[in-house]
Chain A
Amino acid sequence: MRYAPTLDDAALREREAMRGDAAQGAARPALGRRALPAWAGRLGLGLGLGGLALGLAVFLGLPLAAILLKSVTNDAGWAGLSVLAGIVAGDGFLAMVGRSFAVGGVTTLLVVPAAYAFAYGLTRTRLPGKSALRTAALLPLLAPSLLPGIALVYLLGNQGLLKSLTGGATIYGFWGIVAGEAFYTFPHALMILLTGLALADGRLYDAARAMGAGPLRTFATVTLPGTRYAVFSACCVVFTLTVTDFGVPKVVGGDYNVLAMEAYKAVVGQQDFPKGAAIGILLLLPAVLTFALDRRLRARQGAQLTGRAQPYAAGPNRGRDAAFLGLSGLVAAFLLLIIGVAVWASFIRMWPYNLSLSLRSYDFDNMDGGGWLAWRNSLRLAGWTAALGTLTVFLGAWMMEKVPARGVAARGLRGLAGMLALMPMAVPGLVLGLGYIFFFNSPSNPLNALYGTMPLLVLCTVVHFYTSAHLTATTALNALDPEFEAASASLKVPRLVTFFRVTLPMCLPAALDVARYLFVSAMTTVSAVVFLYSPPTVLAAVAVLNMDDAGFIGPAAAMCTVIMASSAAAALLLHLASRALVARTQAWRRPAA
């Protein structure tokens, strides 16, 4: 029985007397929507999820499979574990594994406590200048991992500024790598710990204080247990990043050979692919292991913080604030010193003989490495990665989180896509890049034409940074009312319309965050793309590597500066765009005038 709402009771009675749908229909057109047929939605979801799963399978799963395959074959064909065993037992290989672990362990032991104290200062104290400290601490994200190496060479290298302070010790080697990796991994650890420390239930602290616990006891019984998963997570990230990075060892490693460096040399220098594959697998193992453990712990932590938690607000305490200001200031000073030295050095005419300023190092077109073309390529790569990646990530996360999958096939597809979306986090860039070589460079692959082209670089970069972006999108989507989709279905509005009219606008700040993350990561990444570029698609961060290789350390510093400036400009631009968009399109966030 149809009815038409009206305020006129007489008309209502009259209409009830007639009770004719036709009569109403003549009065006005049927204003309700006509629902899309069910098969259209199912087909769309199937195609979307299927496409995503296929894409991730081809650009992540198959390259990894190619590494595995490569490590068990040699020129003669199937070789089983003999190749791997041969390489592992080879000359000095185990010592190299030991060196990698030593560097990873020491860096973790240095970085995580420092980052914890820094994050604690930012979230749990009232120290002044929080946003400035935070910005300074996150600056290393804007630079490729080669920058700290270059800066260290200028500072403590054989002709370094502070060489006299080292007492004859050399920066090339263990401590150089550790210092560089500390700079490179600090912001990553800091972000994780900031999130962990921000999730505090103020009521627990009130309870602890009411029961007479002192600050140390409170820290040991409330703060530390509440953040132990974040600490573990940070340890995993720092260790994995350190062990798989070859930017720092490349510049300041000297004779101190580590696994990542050896893989790079094996593939790029010696064309020894089985060795590269074997090291790739060795590097994949700890990464996958820590990742799996991390996911399990995180799932268990889920229920810890309830919706009723009160945010923690630090009380005034001058001594504490001063101590943390000193500590944070020291860390920030170290980070700024490294960046500052690299930037300053890029403007020096002739290190160390002529310290007058000049733009000589920026004359990229007259030296090896790719020049300004590399920089333009990097911008293109970053732009495409941000645009394509953000859209894919959000559509993918939305399909997985917000569209009900009916039937075994659809549910299986969703599970597969969800698993594939989490995998990139467990795969170091170096391993991903090696996989791409083995898979796409193989002449028998029909996708071989992609090798060395910009589209493949974009796809590789999107896949490389997929998981973090995916998790951000998922969090943003899950913060929305779960009944939006049900309400729009009852109104017969197609899901995709609701996605573009409601869901995406609501998630706009998160989407711009994702875009910024992808842009900056694409600007600075070396590890995967270094194996995939061709002369016309050379990238800025790769150019830094090549210029450093050729001994042009000044221009390398200059290119680092250019990368950092571009990343910062893009990040700032996106931030401002986000603010402007929020102000213009999100009037609903403002209270009534």
Chain B
Amino acid sequence: MLQRDNRYSARQAAGGDKSRQPSDGFLSVRNLVKRYGSHTALADISLDIRAGELVCLLGPSGCGKTTLLRAIAGLERQDAGAIVLCGRDISHAPPQERDYGILFQSYALFPNLTLAQNVAYGLSGKRAHRRHVQARVEEMLTLVGLAGSADKYPGQISGGQQQRVALARALAPSPSLLLLDEPMSALDARVREHLRIELRALQKRLSITTLMVTHDQEEAMVMADRIAVMNGGVIEQFGTPRELYRQPGSAFIADFVGEANWLPFERIDSHRARVGRHELAVDAALQTGTGKLFVRPEAVRVSAAPAGDRVNAMLADVLDGVFLGRGYRLALRLEGVPGATVHSIVSPETGDALLGPHAASRCWVELPRHAIRAYA
């Protein structure tokens, strides 16, 4: 769902009483526009983030997700639109007046300062506060599991540890918002997976409102409360990972989030479609005369023999099978649908039976009518 309704203008929000604000307006982006010459990086973006939630901006490269994050951080200036944080209009505030912490892909730790000096960098330099600052630095380093390394330099610890120090540095001054700009894309797969979970646990415990940019859909699914999928400068869909996966709002989302099977169809009536030689029943109402039917691989049912009069059942050749450990991923050629290959995730037993040396390499494929969605 695209959030385009302006229930209150930015000006009202800025002047409004903090406590009476609806909770989903903790960070509000309204009608943000950013152009680079003739290229539109952000086309009228609106987004509301609730207090304490982690929102991912997900999209292919060049979709505008980093531009949006940098606009919120004040590192890019938008051409039009407003940004409201905590009821305060920060659309034109310089970065230092916006009150956020930020993590970069490159960590951006100061190499000539120790970890403790890095974490203390954003803390008060007043002599009277020195003891408190020291205590906070220790606390933050403990929080990220690097308590014993205060006097090391960033170059002396691993990438994953550096990003943790960057997190400690960003959180030390207690910002109201945390921005993450592809924080893990410079790390090894193993470290990334670990840090992902750690970061999410920490974010939940501190309940700090967080906005993260990523191009890794798995990362977004694992970490986010809600995901805003961006494409071509607009938010295609904003919802929970479950919503995105189960009810993708567009063919782009269906393709970008998770795996998809696509079958071209012609509409027969509102709930029946012709695919090749077959006639398929569909729960969702068909809106257009032609288009593509969409089914997730794990929804495609495969069996060795036909059983009863199944709806939407077709014969198929097994082209290929990839063993995934917890199952198989089969590539199937549907009979009577020229040029269409369907992927299916099946149990190890079914896969073994279909791919064994004496198997017929033919099977029945059923596309459950409730699992089919149609896109123009």
Which residues of chain A have a CB within 8 Å of any CB of chain B? 1-7, 9, 12, 16, 28-33, 35-38, 41, 404, 406, 481, 483-484, 486-494, 501-502, 505-506, 585-589, 591-592
Contact = CB atoms under 8 A, between A and B. Distances in A.
Contacts of B208: 3
Contacts of A31: 123-124, 129, 132-133, 136, 172-174
9 contacts: A1-B176, A31-B172, A33-B125, A37-B97, A483-B108, A486-B75, A487-B102, A491-B101, A588-B112
Contacts of B205: 9, 12
Given A1-B52, A1-B209, A488-B121, A32 B94 contact: no
Given A1-B52, A32-B173, A41-B94, A490 B102 contact: yes
Contacts of A7: 139, 142-143
Nearest to A586: B112
Nearest to A490: B102
Given A3-B206, A5-B143, A589-B155, A489 B112 contact: no
A588 B100 CA distance: 28
Contacts of B74: 489
Given A2-B174, A490-B101, A502 B95 contact: no
The 3 closest A-B pairs by CB, nearest first: A491-B122, A32-B173, A592-B156
B247 interface: no
Prevailing SS type, chain A contact patch: loop
A348 B125 CA distance: 64
Interface of B: 26, 51-52, 73-75, 77, 86, 93-98, 100-102, 104, 106, 108, 110-113, 121-125, 128-129, 132-133, 136, 139-140, 142-143, 152-157, 166, 169-176, 179, 205-209
A535 B154 CA distance: 55
Contacts of A37: 97
A587 B114 CA distance: 10
A453 to B, nearest CB: 39
Nearest to B92: A38
Given A31-B173, A33-B125, A588-B112, A490 B51 contact: no
Given A31-B172, A592-B152, A502 B136 contact: no
Contact of B73 (A486, A488, A501): A486
B112 to A, nearest CB: 5
A591 B155 contact: yes
B123 A506 contact: no
Contacts of B77: 406
Contacts of B171: 5
B174 A33 contact: no
Contacts of B179: 490
A585 B206 contact: no
A492 B106 contact: no
Nearest to A4: B174
A92 to B, nearest CB: 56
Given A490-B73, A588-B111, A588-B154, A32 B26 contact: no
A38 B94 contact: yes
A300 B274 CA distance: 56
Contacts of A3: 174, 206-208
A225 B279 CA distance: 64
Interface centre among B51, B77, B104, B121 (most CB of A within 10 A): B121
B108 A487 contact: yes
Contact of A502 (B110, B143, B172): B110
Contacts of A493: 96, 121-122
Contacts of B157: 592
Given A1-B26, A7-B143, A483-B104, A33 B173 contact: yes
B348 to A, nearest CB: 41
A587 B153 contact: yes
B124 A38 contact: no
A490 B123 contact: no
A573 to B, nearest CB: 24
A3 B205 CA distance: 10
Nearest to A585: B112
Contacts of A481: 104, 106, 108
B206 A5 contact: yes
Contact of B108 (A1, A9, A486, A492): A486
